[in-house]
Amino acid sequence: MLGLELQNHIHYAMPVRTMLYDAIEYDSQVQRTARANRQHPVTSADDSSLSDHTSDTFLSGFRKEDKLIPVITLVLYLKPDRWDGPRSLSEMYAPYDKAIEPYINDYSMNLLSPAELESDDFKLFSTEIGKVLEFIKCSRDKKDMETFMKENTNLNLSGKSVVFLNEVTHSKLTVDDKGGDVVMCKALDDMCADAMEEGLKKGLKKGLSEGESRMSRLISVLLSQNNLEAAKLATSDSDARNRLYKQYNII
């Protein structure tokens, strides 16, 4: 039996949490089995080896021959960063006397973190989840993301996967109104357009900031010389302003 726990943030008590998940499921199995045994008891007349009429069986309702289905809880960390939390109970223990170590039980969690997977690992997935995890890993670095996009231009992702990626990586991949598949070449074009727009905005902001600085220095110089006429001209005539920049060596 497989359980999946999705984590957007690191849970520093996750080994305890997964242990509880597993324990609750095992207890549920015991209770279901015990309930079935009580509803359909086996007597010594049916099979003496499976008799429910023993104090041990009566106590739990669970026969010696009953078995449990193994439980696996997988923690999927949905961030491009590495998991820096504990992965087992032993990592959470306070210092203790090593003499008691043989008697202390440990419990390890099963973790799947995209940041810890190699390129070949993503190919082991038979569905698009491999590419989704690889996208998450690459989302922390612009160059890695550009490489991923260029290497997967013909990749189709379902609308649900794209919505999921936008949510966990704060990307801006577009999905049509019908929630159809998204082709990565279109996503790459969108990302390039967004990057260009962002670059233009930054360039414009920087240019305005630098222009304001130059103007401020020029006006300060002109006012210090009580040259009000030139200061007025600098604010209204761009050609005159540029001549004054050169005259006062304001770059």
pLDDT in tens, the chain (251 residues): 899 999 999 999 999 999 999 999 999 999 999 999 888 877 655 555 555 556 677 778 898 899 999 999 999 999 999 999 999 999 999 999 999 999 999 999 999 999 999 989 999 998 999 999 999 999 888 888 888 888 887 777 888 888 888 888 888 777 665 555 665 545 555 555 555 455 545 544 555 555 667 777 877 887 788 787 887 777 778 888 888 888 888 86
Three-state SS at 52: coil
What pLDDT does 132 receive?
92
What pLDDT does 215 receive?
78
What pLDDT does 163 receive?
85
User: How does DSSP classify residue 182?
Assistant: E
Question: 23 with 3: CB under 8 angstroms?
Answer: no
What pLDDT does 184 receive?
56
What pLDDT does 157 receive?
83
Give the span between the Cα atoms of 23 and 71, in whole angstroms: 9
Domain ranges of the chain: 2-115, 117-190
Which amino acid is located at 188 in the chain?
A: L
Give the span between the Cα atoms of 52 and 247, in whole angstroms: 106
Residues in a beta bridge with 77: 7
What pLDDT does 200 receive?
46
What pLDDT does 44 receive?
56
What pLDDT does 204 receive?
45
What pLDDT does 70 receive?
96
Question: 165 with 146: CB under 8 angstroms?
Answer: no
Question: 25 with 71: CB under 8 angstroms?
Answer: yes
Among the listed residues 96, 107, 169, the one whose alpha carbon sits nearest the alpha carbon of residue 132: 169
What pLDDT does 228 receive?
76
Residues in a beta bridge with 75: 5, 111
What pLDDT does 214 receive?
79
